[in-house]
Amino acid sequence: MKTLYIIGNGFDVMHGIPSKYSDFADYCKLNEQKLFNAMNQEFPGLIENRENLWSNFELELGNPDIPFLVRKAKEIGLEKVENMQEEVCVDHFTLSMAFSDWISKLSSLIHRENFPLQFVLPEEACYLTFNYTLTLEHVYGVTHVYHIHSQYNPNNREFSDYIWGHNKSDEELNADFAKYGASVVEADIHTLRDDISAWRKSYDKGNEVLYKLLAENDGVAQIIVLGHSMSEVDYMYFKEINEKYPAAHWNICYHDETDLCNKRKSAVLLGLADKVRFIAI
């Protein structure tokens, strides 16, 4: 019986690796104070829960403080709005490089001697990981690993091609702006909308990895979701996997009652309710 493991960031966290988005927030607060302040100002949803700072990092990138952005755009004038990232919005390049630097420093810690094994992972299984780190390879020594969101490149510390972001369409963003009386027909508002669109997750590269896995692995009968939140930003991938392996049985791991509740909802929305077992870890 061939098994596919779907690995998320919770897998690293269970090993004591400080890889949560809240850890990235702490890193920015310490090393990129200007960026940290700008993020919290533009995306206030990131700081609604102080105990779990930036917990919904990807989703909140699609929920900016629109009145704040519109007011800033009007203040600086249309002639400067074309350079919106520098004048009004969080700079994409600065955030990407801060993220890459954080991943680089984090990855340098990940070796078998630093993090004892928490699971028995079979070599013959295949692994689809949403993590950027090389925990599966460096700690567990498995080789059949597919990194759907790209992976840490030890030969290029400035590698910034990691995949993350929200999943809102331009139409949904237009509606968000319309709620506050801001029409994207206006040039400056349209520029603002495009800037927020740029935070959208790119599924093309992720799909390349996913389709490679699906093409190379027939007969998967068991799927184990380990440490993945099953957030809606990744539903597309889960639907593709379910379509490829319609007879596979799913084992979805959870860590507390809130996590279980969220994953039950995801299982229903993804059409997995009749072939899933939830496992507490």
15: pLDDT confidence band, cut at 50, 70 and 90?
very high
Averaged pLDDT, 135-139: 94
Q: Would you state the structure tokens that stand for residue 261, as one six-digit string?
A: 């509740």
Confidence of residue 134 (pLDDT cuts 50, 70, 90): very high
The pLDDT tens digits for 36-71 are 999 999 998 888 766 667 878 888 999 999 999 888
- Which of 26-30, 62-66, 73-77, 271-275 shows the lowest per-residue confidence on average (mean pLDDT)? 73-77
In contact, 221 and 1? CB cutoff 8 Å: yes
Residue 7 token pair? 């690995």
Q: pTM of the full predicted structure?
A: 0.86
What integer is the mean pLDDT of 189-197? Answer: 87
**DSSP symbols for 130-150:** --SS-HIIIII----EEETT-
Cβ-Cβ contacts under 8 Å for 56 (sequence gap 6 or more): 45, 46
Rg of the chain over Cα atoms, rounded to whole angstroms, equals 20
Cβ-proximal residues to 204 (8 Å cutoff; 6+ apart), any chain: none
pLDDT score for 140? 94
Residue 175 pLDDT level (bands cut at 50, 70, 90) = very high
Cα separation, 143 vs 248, in Å, equals 22
